[in-house]
Chains A and B, each alone.
Chain A
Amino acid sequence: MSSHDLHLEGAPFLKEQNAGLYEPAGSKSLGEATERSSKQNRAIAAEIPSWQDWRESARQIKQFAIANLDKLLVQFEERISARGATVLWAENAEQANRLVLDIAREHHVKTVVKGKSMVSEEMELNHTFEAAGIRAVETDLGEYIVQLAHQRPTHIVTPALHLSAEDVGKIFAERLGEPFSADHQHLTNVARRHLREEYLKADMGMSGVNFAVADTGTLVVVENEGNGGLSTSTPPIHVALMGIEKVLPSIYYLPVFLNLLGRSGTGQKLTTYTHLIHGATPGKKLYVIILDNGRTNVLADPATHAALHCIRCGACLNACPVYRRVGGWAYGWVYPGPIGSIVTPGLVGLKSAGKLPFASSLCGACQEVCPIKIDIPHQLVHLRHRAVNEPSPMNSLSERLTWKAWAWAMSGSKRYRLAMAAVRLGVRMAKFLPWHPGKLGAWTRGRELPRVPGPAFRKSWSRHRSQLDSHDRSDRT
């Protein structure tokens, strides 16, 4: 995918300047909710004695699945085709969109109900439908709200986490003509009423795939609202979208993943509905679209293979101090948070997303909570290394010159002293400037410049040392 396909508005990490970082992209409710989820995650992990064993098992199973990805995908295709499904492959979002449109046109589809699918966000499928004059309705409540508001999801599990009940009430009033309310039950009822009609008149239903089981040819869809069940069984056609990495070798491995996913994603022992779909339901059509869209780029770098182990539980987002502060939009694309900072550069290339691996404090909280034990921090460091050596915004001329100058200034005590004197002078003088240029301006717009502290450490150290020395001498005499 080329960079002009990306919508980078509100994506401070990907912009040239970090202007916009201090606009309220995150929100109080986001910060609080993610903190609560993260505490819950830790409590669950501490409660279950075998939690660490589960993580290790899941990691090994995923590692096996990726190491045998070609064979497993072929096996999955064969088994699910034998159960009446049509399997289609797409190298990129454009091909996948075309496949979906072809299916819709062939069956004269006017309305599509969509269960949650991150792949469909990757494809920007709703735009494609709109352009083709087909009504596509998101049915996951969070996705529905975000779609009505013409926004992007901020979180992969709870897409409307940035909106308050009041915001939702306003959106429903504006877009659906409903009387305003900020009552959760009432808002949910409104959505239920509207979406019921959509399910019943839809000609096609879509879903994502949580796991694709190779040895049985089973699609596993995990959800809470019932929209997954309805989207896949009410209309005459079901189109399932999956990335190539979703495959599991055997049905026998599923329990450990279901146990991990429910607990890590939403703090549930099991989600309300786990559907094991055995191919096409009698009387209905099933299409499975298997999408690459840059995932094989991730495979091309052995150090990043584990990024394909992700089961999209969202735990690392909730745990991340950076995500909590800035929210999902700051990451500029479909996958935010720590895992997004690995997956996005992999899928769209370092050239447009090379800054993302730097949007982390490397505190390690993400790796600690990840149910598949993905070593996110080390992958981020690896990608940083690549980003400064390969074509990327972190390898621009100005970046290179800046770091050259830094390296020069840091590699001799005289140069260091000189550089620090210049910095102190600069900070003292900066407040007298009427405006701050470039990056400095973006930085100071949201922050106070620090006060220059008293004498430098080196100065006080040499004074203390001379005092200590004289103490020593007087002790001995």
Chain B
Amino acid sequence: MNARDAILQRIRDGLSAEAPVELPPVPAVWPRTNPSPEQRVERFRRELEAVQGELIRCGSMDEARSKLADLAQQAKWSVIGAADRPMCRELLAGYPSDRTSWAKQGWDPKQIAELSVGLVAAESLLADTGTCLVANDTAEERLLCYLPATCVVVGRADQMAEHLPDAWEDVARHTAEPDRRGEFVLITGPSRTADIEKILILGVHGPKRLVVVLVG
């Protein structure tokens, strides 16, 4: 018998005396309170800042572009690497093209590590935890979230869900699509550790800085 069958057999033997258990209902976890869009954004800001992330709120994409330019100047960013998504394209429309790099297949991780910024687009945002949900279809997109020293996530205010269970229907549906590859990642603040004496330090392996550009 191979290992697989042997293990499955032992499991069945162990379970044979077990009374059947019914599939439990899906818990609601958090109730929906349907806060206004403004309340959601405020909550998002509070939670994001509590986990040392930064929110840049912009009324329009034009405003977002100019704020991004300011930020780039302040932080002396050179090349921004970005996932090829409509929202990233829009945001980088005014950014110098010689300092923009689009995710491509076979992109060398060493080059991604050299980028000043990795820019990705949010699928949805969670107000009550300050979380960005990002769909990374390829390894290169995944690396944009983890390798550069700064990660920027761009999202729209109308993508703001109240909390994880509120956004979950979509996540579950997309996760179940058989052709889906890569990952969904929930990002809540910049990378951190408390492994030495439980003291919180930011930017251990992943980005030291997380900026969410929220449009609308």
Contacts and interface: CB of A to CB of B under 8 A. Distances in A.
A272 B187 contact: yes
A50 B29 contact: yes
Contact of B139 (A84, A139, A187, A281): A281
Nearest to B180: A278
Contacts of A277: 182-183
Nearest to A32: B198
A271 B188 contact: yes
A128 interface: no
B12 A272 contact: no
Contacts of A163: 196
Contacts of A232: 142
Nearest to B1: A91
Q: Is the interface on chain B under 10, 10 to 19, 20 to 34, or 35 or more residues?
A: 35 or more
Interface residues of A, number: 98
A225 B142 contact: no
Given A234-B109, A269-B188, A272-B187, A29 B24 contact: no
Contacts of B27: 53-54, 57, 253, 256
Interface string A46-86: 00001001100100110110111110011000000011100
A190 to B, nearest CB: 11
A79 to B, nearest CB: 8
B204 A225 contact: yes
**Most A Cβ at <10 Å: residue of B7, B8, B12:** B7
B21 A302 contact: no
B34 interface: no
Interface string B195-216: 1111101011111000000000
A283 B106 contact: yes
B193 A225 contact: yes
Given A216-B176, A253-B26, A225 B192 contact: yes
A244 B7 contact: yes
Nearest to B31: A50
Q: Lowest 8 CB-CB distances: which A-B pairs, in order?
A: A226-B206, A299-B14, A226-B191, A142-B195, A296-B10, A57-B27, A60-B24, A233-B142
12 contacts: A50-B29, A70-B8, A89-B4, A158-B195, A168-B196, A225-B206, A255-B29, A269-B47, A273-B188, A277-B183, A292-B7, A296-B13
Interface of A: 29, 33, 36-37, 50, 53-54, 57, 60-61, 63-64, 66-70, 73-74, 82-84, 89-91, 95, 139-142, 145, 158-161, 163-165, 168, 184-185, 187-188, 191-192, 195-196, 199-200, 213, 215-216, 218, 224-227, 229-230, 232-234, 244, 249-256, 258-259, 266, 268-284, 290, 292, 296, 299-300, 302, 305
